[in-house]
Chain A
């Protein structure tokens, strides 16, 4: 990973800090007065492919140095913003831009009656940035002002460093900035965790429901009980971002449910939880069940419990689960929620699929229950009234397509991870077809759940990736998708299809996938299997759903 750091002040401390970082490389031009030239110059390093992201950290005071009146300053900021917009359009959507908002350290010395105009300038810049952020998927605001507010401007700025070295921000401030950059860069490439497993007593409320009763537990809008309510509010926000919530609590089921459903200050409701394990069984066992019921990897769980014995038991028995320490000072619970988000669930953006995730997983649990009850599997599949919508990717699918390659582990034949940039490149290539499919049924919409990347080499097609979200596995949907792709390729003159299975720790479920579909194994080395299918000899597939193609 490599990013460019551009600024109108000296950020040498940050640049030097990144020279020690093994994973993230920082490019920065010599001299800090040249950032505007650099972004406008198509021959500069930042236009090169190796740069993933561009960070523009701008100091307000210096941007408008030399301008006297408010009007002059506003004009200057407008013209600078204009050059940034031009550069963004020039460089294109393949790189991420993080552009700082502005903060003026001092206002001019004025009587109280005369208002500080700098706030207006900050807002002017903010609204332009917000517009850019909304118009471009790849442009983000870098919240410099929030960092300044959080630390306090007295500590954020360093007069000494400024006068001696042209560095405006204190060492502490530059550490905050570089940590934020690191977090963002990692988020571009990192796998998020999927599910937050929560204890109840002394975690979502204060006290023990079984002993203190509905009236006795601490949970309120103000004062002591607000520690827990505020914590719940933040967790609810995590859920809105697509993080699944589950309960794992040692309690009588009825007691706990009464608190969840009847307490007026419960922010999290029963329907917010995708899975509830409220019983007296060991938590380790419950946690394993949660993962298997949701059909997600056990390493995608994060477990929150105030009880150190429970935490240690989970760490000991299921080391794949992340178990953060619980804050000793419970007035820090809200801050703890922020930390959990940054460490385990941080994301630059969320997709529509994220917002509906809890419902989708719950629908799935219901499907499985019905399936267990159904005597005849064939009629069960037909009864689901599955609809599969398949098409070649459009620009609006790119984000989800990338996400599928990044997050899917089980139904993933080759487990190749792609970035937005790479998917975009492939999608625009003539020799590659990327199919994306969404699936719905009588219980609800699963969203876009399957992706296939196919390379064309003359009359042969090679399946580079075939991925399906595990929430629709086991319903022969993959057969129908591959059937469509085979037919579509055939129509485009393809005679044979080559496919590959690459074993990973997680993709055992699809070990025999191509064998089952009648592909012929032509090679096997170290568990990697290569297959070939002659399209004229294709067998009939099991088709239970209704397929719609565009």
Chain B
């Protein structure tokens, strides 16, 4: 499974959104279930399941799945 698809799966699970309804470009603020705890759970799950590290300093600035995907692409 490529990173994009895996990310969609994780997001679907944590944000309670159907996988096919996930919009990567959508901003965090526009998604109701994406609250501060979901943000942490999302990023931690991505770190744990994809074996990537998102530095502490960069966690706050991530505001869409697109941006998250960019961050972990190079890893």
Contacts and interface: CB of A to CB of B under 8 A. Distances in A.
Partners in one complex: yes
Interface of A: 12-13, 16, 20, 155, 158, 160-161, 163-165, 167, 170-172
Interface residues of B, number: 11
Interface stretch (B1-9, B23-31, B41-49, B63-71): B41-49
Q: Which 10 pairs of residues, A with B, have the shortest CB-CB distance? A: A165-B40, A171-B45, A171-B44, A12-B37, A172-B48, A13-B41, A171-B48, A164-B40, A161-B44, A170-B48
A165 B56 contact: no
Nearest to A13: B41
B50 interface: no
B56 A160 contact: yes
Interface string B1-22: 0000000000000001000000
Contacts of B44: 158, 160-161, 170-171
Contacts of A155: 48
Contacts of B59: 160, 164
Contacts, number: 31
Nearest to B44: A171
B7 to A, nearest CB: 14
A163 B40 CA distance: 11
Contacts of B16: 20
Contacts of A167: 40
A35 B16 CA distance: 28
Interface of A is mostly: helix
Contacts of B56: 160, 163-164
A486 B21 CA distance: 66
Given A16-B41, A160-B59, 19 more contacts: A12-B41, A13-B41, A16-B37, A20-B16, A155-B48, A158-B44, A160-B40, A160-B56, A161-B40, A163-B56, A164-B40, A164-B56, A165-B37, A165-B40, A170-B48, A171-B44, A171-B45, A171-B48, A172-B48
Which among A158, A171, A172 has the greatest number of chain B C-beta atoms within 10 A?
A171
A31 B13 CA distance: 24
A12 B36 CA distance: 11
A172 B46 CA distance: 11
A165 to B, nearest CB: 5
16 contacts: A12-B41, A13-B37, A13-B41, A16-B41, A20-B16, A158-B44, A160-B47, A160-B56, A163-B56, A164-B56, A164-B59, A165-B36, A165-B40, A170-B48, A171-B44, A171-B48
B43 to A, nearest CB: 8
Contacts of A12: 37, 41
A172 B45 CA distance: 8
Nearest to A172: B48
Nearest to B41: A13
Contacts of B45: 171
A459 to B, nearest CB: 58
A158 B36 CA distance: 17
Interface in B46-60: 47-48, 56, 59
A489 B47 CA distance: 68
Contacts of B40: 160-161, 164-165, 167
A155 B44 CA distance: 12
A148 B16 CA distance: 28
Contacts of A172: 48
A167 B48 CA distance: 15
Contacts of A171: 41, 44-45, 48
A171 B47 CA distance: 10
B1 to A, nearest CB: 18
Contacts of A170: 44, 48
Contacts of B37: 12-13, 16, 165
B13 to A, nearest CB: 9
B72 to A, nearest CB: 15
A420 B1 CA distance: 48
Nearest to A165: B40
A161 B41 CA distance: 8
A163 B43 CA distance: 14
Contacts of A13: 37, 41
Contacts of A161: 40, 44
Contacts of A16: 37, 41
B41 to A, nearest CB: 5
A121 to B, nearest CB: 28
B29 to A, nearest CB: 19
A163 B37 CA distance: 13
Contacts of A20: 16
A164 B16 CA distance: 22
